[in-house]
Amino acid sequence: QKEVEQNSGPLSVPEGAIASLNCTYSDRGSQSFFWYRQYSGKSPELIMFIYSNGDKEDGRFTAQLNKASQYVSLLIRDSQPSDSATYLCAVMDSSYKLIFGSGTRLLVRP
């Protein structure tokens, strides 16, 4: 059973701080990794994807991938109250299916 693990949180950070969200996966053959954001009562939306080891930056968001450690993270700089949501880590398997983690709830305190 392929697994994607996340700490459920909540992770509480003050406004303007860096929020660090982590994810581990079990399938060593996974090649593609994704972060989705889900506001309460809404559907998920893609915010980042990463394929290669290292960092990928997009605005205030940075995704980090370490395939040797089977570890993916998402950093949110200058966190805003509007970033308060659940962040879902997802891993694509060889059949083009996305396997989701259970999500980490982020709370940004004004």
Partner 1 sequence: NAGVTQTPKFRILKIGQSMTLQCTQDMNHNYMYWYRQDPGMGLKLIYYSVGAGITDKGEVPNGYNVSRSTTEDFPLRLELAAPSQTSVYFCASSSHISYTGELFFGEGSRLTVL
Is 25 within 8 Å of 102 (Cβ atoms)? no
Q: For the chain, what is the largest distance between any 2 Cα atoms, rounded to a whole number of angstroms?
A: 42
In the complex with partner 1, which residue's Cβ is closer, 62 or 103? 103
3-state secondary structure 47-99: EEEECCCEEEEECCEEEEEECCCCEEEEEECCCCHHHCEEEEEEEECCCCCEE
State in angstroms the smallest separation of the CB of 27 from partner 1: 13
State in angstroms the smallest separation of the CB of 67 from partner 1: 16
State in angstroms the smallest separation of the CB of 28 from partner 1: 18
Q: What's the length of the chain? A: 110
Residues that bind partner 1 (CB under 8 A): 1, 4, 6, 8, 32, 34, 42-46, 49, 88, 90, 92, 95-103
In the complex with partner 1, which residue's Cβ is closer, 13 or 34? 34
In the complex with partner 1, which residue's Cβ is closer, 17 or 100? 100
In the complex with partner 1, which residue's Cβ is closer, 18 or 46? 46
Rounded Cα gap, residues 8 and 22, in angstroms = 10
